[in-house]
Amino acid sequence: MLRASVSGTVIKSSLIEPDGGVLVDARVPESERGSKTLEAELLPKVSLAKIDVEWVHVISEGWASPLKGFMRENEYLQSLHFNSLRMENGTVVNMSLPIVLAIDDETKERIGSSKDVGLVGPEGDLLAILRSIEIYKHNKEERITRTWGTTAPGLPYVDEFITSSRKLAPRNEFDRRRADAVFAFQLRNPVHNGHALLMNDTRRRLLEMGYKNPILLLHPLGGFTKADDVPLGVRMEQHCKVLEDGVLDHETTIVAIFPSPMHYAGPTEVQWHAKARVNAGANFYIVGRDPAGMGHPTEKRDLYDPDHGKKVLSMAPGLEKLNILPFRVAAYDTVAKKMAFFDPSRSKEFLFISGTKMRTYARNGENPPDGFMCPGGWEVLVKYYERSVTEETTSAAASA
């Protein structure tokens, strides 16, 4: 989070007194714009999204008086917890929405020790100078819960401006973390412990190959998916719980949305998925059984040969620089009571839980076998299906 005090004039009003007694006006007079622009050009820059520009207008024109800039941490916490701000003279003013400017780690490093920064709009134009900045951590989940009262997916402002992955540039993040290998894993389902086993085992294999810092790109597909697939917002919330519960390591995992729509075109589409990950910076790609596949629309069989995806990738023209990592089959070990690699010699002791079966468990409010998925991640799915059933029931009742 970044906040700054913006120096400016204040205007006294003969109408109802504004919060704080004076109306903040942080707009730069025309006579000073040339010198301020020259000053801003020499400062570290912070790029603004459209929504950030809107907040700059709100602050500079005094709509958020007595706020003179994006909130400092103590102001942010007061707004978040008390819906108000306490002035230096003890007066309390209402402030129910946090007004903050989020920055990424790359921007933070670029700012360095500078106390002032220039704000740059989406078109590259210099808009403002922020002075005496303060940078602090931003707990998105806490902010969302306290502001909206729910973390349910589908909140427009949250989806667009708070949890949006648009600011994430994977290549830059790989460089920042000094990755010497990047392995990508795409999925359109919630992460269960079998997936985690595959990802963690892949990292182990890369370390054994001599890499010092392999980084996982967990890359959920964010475009069009079938109606029975779990929505992106729910999946992202579930992925966050997987990281919170320590199933995957925060330090060696990057979660980013792959915005492509799903074609369910099997071996043809999986080449596109792999090629896009090359552009993201990955040099290893995990591929499993029947990637991008689906059931035949009119016959009771798979539409594609389940092994053709990985075979095609190993021969695909133009993808030679990408290392394909076929993964071993994971299933639920009923003896060890956890997800494990399938052992054909003990086949009767393993249980295969398909995506359909997993969704059925969640929809019915049933728990899967212990060790199938972390509790926090499973709770996200159960709550989603509870909401879905309630909405379906309400809709049916309204139509009756």
Q: Does domain 165-262+329-395 have CATH number 3.40.50.620?
A: yes
The whole-angstrom separation of Cα 43 and Cα 38 is 9
Inter-CA distances, 364 with 199, 338, 351, 356, Å? 29, 22, 19, 12
The whole-angstrom separation of Cα 272 and Cα 262 is 11
Using left for φ > 0, alpha for ψ between -120 and 50, and beta otherwise, residue 158 falls in alpha
Tens digits of residue pLDDT in 354-388: 888 998 899 898 999 999 999 999 999 999 998 88
Instruction: Please give the pLDDT value at position 13.
Output: 41
User: Where does the pLDDT of residue 17 fall: very low under 50, low under 70, confident under 90, or very high at 90 and above?
Assistant: confident
The whole-angstrom separation of Cα 239 and Cα 373 is 11
Instruction: Please give the pLDDT value at position 374.
Output: 96
Instruction: Please give the pLDDT value at position 5.
Output: 44
In the chain, the percentage of residues whose pLDDT exceeds 90 is: 50
Instruction: Please give the pLDDT value at position 395.
Output: 63
Instruction: Judge whether 2-151 and 165-262+329-395 match in fold.
Output: no
Higher pLDDT, 16 or 188: 188
Burial profile 275-300: b = 16 or more Cβ within 10 angstroms, e = fewer: ebbeebbbbbbbbbebbbbeeeeeee
Instruction: Please give the pLDDT value at position 15.
Output: 56
User: Where does the pLDDT of residue 32 fall: very low under 50, low under 70, confident under 90, or very high at 90 and above?
Assistant: very high
Average pLDDT over residues 75-93: 92
pTM of the model: 0.61
Residues 6 or more apart in contact with residue 335 via CB below 8 angstroms: 346, 349
Tens digits of residue pLDDT in 94-106: 898 999 999 988 8
2-151 adopts what CATH topology?
Answer: Sulfate adenylyltransferase (3.10.400)
- Whether cis (ω within 30° of 0) applies to the bond prior to 297 is no
Q: Break the chain into its structural domains and give their ranges.
A: 2-151, 165-262+329-395
Average pLDDT of every residue of the chain = 87
Tens digits of residue pLDDT in 180-212: 999 999 888 899 999 999 999 999 999 999 999
390: pLDDT strictly greater than 60:
yes
Which of these, 222, 225, 262, 264, lies nearest to 239 by C-alpha position?
222
| Amino acid at position 306, single letter | P
The whole-angstrom separation of Cα 380 and Cα 368 is 14
Instruction: Please give the pLDDT value at position 166.
Output: 46
Which of these, 184, 170, 190, lies nearest to 273 by C-alpha position?
184
User: Where does the pLDDT of residue 4 fall: very low under 50, low under 70, confident under 90, or very high at 90 and above?
Assistant: very low
